[in-house]
Homo-oligomer: A and B are copies of this chain.
Amino acid sequence: MMEARPYANVIEVIRAARLRPTRQRLALARLLFESGDRHVTAEQLHNEALTAQVPVSLATVYNALHQFVAAGLLREVVVNPGRSYFDTNVSDHHHFFHEDDGQLTDIAGDRIEVKDLPKPPPGTAVRRVDVIIRVAQKDKQ
C-alpha cells in the first residue's frame, strides 16, 4: 500500500511523470495523494502547504497542478466559472456538485450508465464524458 513507503512512492510517481522530484513537488504530491480521493483548488492546496510548513509560491502550485494533470495524475473538474477543482481520482467516475458550499463528491463510474451516447461529430473523438449532478439544500428557494 501507499501508506507503507509514502515518501518513496511519491518520488516514483513524480519521476514517472518525467518531472524532477523537487521539495515543492514532493510536498504537494504528498498532500494530494496520501490521503485518499481529494478535490482541491489551487488556493486550498497552497494554504495546506503553508500550514504544513512547506513554503511554496502559488505560481508553483499552479505549475505543479497542471503538470500533474498533463501526466494523468490529476483530473481537472469544471463546475464553476472562475475556479478550477483538481481531483485525485482519475478513474472513470462522475460528480455531485453541492451548489451551496461548492463541495464536490465522487460518484463511482458504474453507478451511472449513459445510454445511447450520440456519435461524436465527424472527424472528432470523445475525450471524456462528464456527468455533473448539481444538488442544493431541499428547502432552498
Residue positions of A touching B, CB distance < 8 A: 76, 78-84, 96, 98-99, 105, 107, 111-118, 120-121, 123-138
> A127 touching B118 by the CB < 8 A rule?
no
- Chain B residues with CB under 8 Å of A83's CB are 81
> A132 touching B129 by the CB < 8 A rule?
yes
5 additional contacts (CB under 8 A) given A78-B78, A128-B134: A82-B82, A112-B115, A114-B115, A130-B130, A130-B131
25 residue pairs from A and B, CB less than 8 Å apart:
A76-B81, A78-B78, A78-B81, A81-B81, A81-B83, A96-B121, A98-B121, A98-B124, A99-B127, A105-B121, A107-B118, A112-B114, A112-B116, A112-B117, A117-B133, A118-B133, A123-B138, A125-B136, A125-B137, A127-B134, A129-B132, A129-B133, A129-B134, A130-B133, A131-B131
| Total identical chains | 2
Closest to A80 in B: B78
Known contacts A78-B81, A113-B116; decide if A124 and B107 are in contact (CB<8 Å).
no
User: Contacting A134 at CB < 8 Å: which of B80, B84, B126?
Assistant: B126
**Consensus secondary structure, chain A interface:** strand
Q: How far, in whole Å, are A125 and B99 apart by their CA atoms in the complex?
A: 11
Known contacts A81-B83, A82-B81; decide if A135 and B121 are in contact (CB<8 Å).
yes
